[in-house]
Amino acid sequence: MTFKLLKQASQKTFLGAIGAAALSVVAMGTVQADPVTVVSWGGSYGKAQDAALFTDASKNSGIEINRESGASMSKVMLQVESGAVTWDLVVSGSGGCAAAAAKGALEKIDFNVVDVSNFLPNTYTDYCIGSDVFATVFAWNTEKYGEPGSAGAPNSWADFWDVKKFPGTRAIRLNNVDGVLEPAVMAMGIPPEKVYEFLSSEGGIEKAIAKIRELKPHISVYWKSGAMQAQLMKDKEVDMITGWNGRFDNAKKDGATVGYTFNQALRDYDGFGIPKGAPNKDMAMKFLAEVSKPQYQANLPFHITYGPTNKVAYEVTTAPKELLEALPSHPNNVSKMLAVDLDWYANYREKALELYMELLSE
């Protein structure tokens, strides 16, 4: 796999070089700078960002962009370490972004360029600018367990674990412990506000792992990506699954019989980072400033049910009330959720991951 990644990286470099060469030929005689390489994820998330943010921001600012998929902070770190950085602006989860920043792989954000004065609290850091608020929820096949909120439908992590009341198959995350342990703790009956306290206590992680082990016989698949969460529900491959709320709403739009609840969900945000030594760092910063403006974020809910990080977006958006109420950042929903604690991850992630991997390999 190391080789595979190296190969991909070198291919990217190579293709990037060819692309740059080709573009420089095309652009000869103009003063246009190199396009900014913006990297996001596949599936409905990347499409939503294209539709809401990137296309219009590029048009309005005159900054040309070059879209790529397959964003990953580990690839960013590889590019930075090998001194062959080709990406300019990269999407990441808040945790991944923080980890990459801790390893010195990201450029510091220039807040003179990027205006975060109207951002929701805790949706940006010195290295990472939040783009949307999302929630890790549990979703289910509504044909099997009923519509959300209806009588008898699952409503808590305890229900996710209750295979007697809700017999069927389950799916949880593979090889990544982010958002995995908190549900187990809540399923044990610990209230949301005590979850991280519990996990930080002696033997807390082990108890959470043991709770997951309890469910293991009923887990038929482990998912690796948001696209896979959606696919598993569309194919009715599993009956109940953990995942990101926006993916399930889009799966539902595609005809999947899937529903979820924000009750006990984990609130988190995605954001952008600029790799250290990015070839078009300054332009990337300007483009980041552009997409962080409320008028673009205001369009995001139309394409994926993730909430804007810029408060002004909620004022200028033309989205109907029902849509706004379906966002994880809506005050009604926020109150039901547990905010992901990045400090806990900074301290305990490595140990938690090793123990989780050990559980998976059992």
Partner 1 sequence: MTPRPTSHRDEALNATKLRVAERRQSLLVLALTLPAIIAVFLVIVIPVGWLFSLSFLDSNGELSLVNYEKMIAYKSYLRVFKTTFNVSFLTTFLCIVIGYPLAYFLSQIPRKYVGLFMLTVLLPFWTSLLVRTYAWLVMLQRNGLINNFAIDLGIWDAPVKLAHNLNGTLIGMVHIMLPFLVLPLYAAMRRIDRHALQAAANLGATPVQAFWQIFVPLSLPGVVAGSLIVFVLCLGFYVTPAVLGGGKVILVSMQITAILEDQFNWGAASALGVVLLVSTFAVLLVASRFLKLDSVMFGRR
Residues of this chain that bind partner 1 (CB under 8 A) = 1-6, 72-74, 77, 81, 99-100, 103, 169, 174-178, 220-224, 235-238, 350, 353-354, 357-358, 360-362
Beta carbon nearer to partner 1, 3 or 62: 3
- Alpha helices (runs of H) in 103-180, residue ranges in sequence order: 142-145, 157-161
Shortest separation between residue 173's beta carbon and partner 1, angstroms: 9
Give kind and range of the element (H or E) at residue 44: helix 43-49
How many other C-beta atoms lie within 10 A of the C-beta of residue 318? Answer: 9
Q: Least separation, in Å, of the C-beta of 347 and partner 1?
A: 15
The angle subtended at Cα 275 by Cα 273 and Cα 280, nearest 5°, is 100
SS3 state at 342: helix
Closer residue to partner 1 in complex, CB, 273/294: 273
Q: How far is CA 314 from CA 46, 61, 117, in A?
A: 21, 22, 15
Strand pairing of 36-40 and 170-173?
A: unpaired
State in angstroms the smallest separation of the CB of 1 from partner 1: 4
Nearest approach in angstroms of CB 181 to partner 1 is 14
Decide whether 142 or 310 has the Cβ nearer to partner 1.
142
Helix locations, 188-330, DSSP H: 195-200, 204-215, 226-234, 245-253, 281-291, 294-297, 300-303, 311-316, 321-325
Q: How far apart are CA 327 and CA 204, in angstroms?
A: 31
Cβ-based nearer residue to partner 1, 103 or 336: 103
Q: Quote the least distance from Cβ 97 to partner 1, whole Å.
A: 12
Nearest to 91 by CA among 80, 103, 100: 100
User: What is the DSSP pairing of strand 65-69 with strand 36-40?
Assistant: parallel
Question: In this structure, how many other beta carbons lie within 10 angstroms of the beta carbon of residue 125?
Answer: 18
Quick one: 1 or 28, whose CB is closer to partner 1?
1
Which one, 121 or 255, has the nearer CB to partner 1? 255
By beta-carbon proximity to partner 1, the closer residue of 336 and 349 is 349
The Cα–Cα gap between 111 and 271 comes to 15
Q: How far is the CB of 237 from partner 1 (least distance, A)?
A: 5
* In the complex, least distance from residue 304 CB atom to partner 1, rounded to whole angstroms: 23
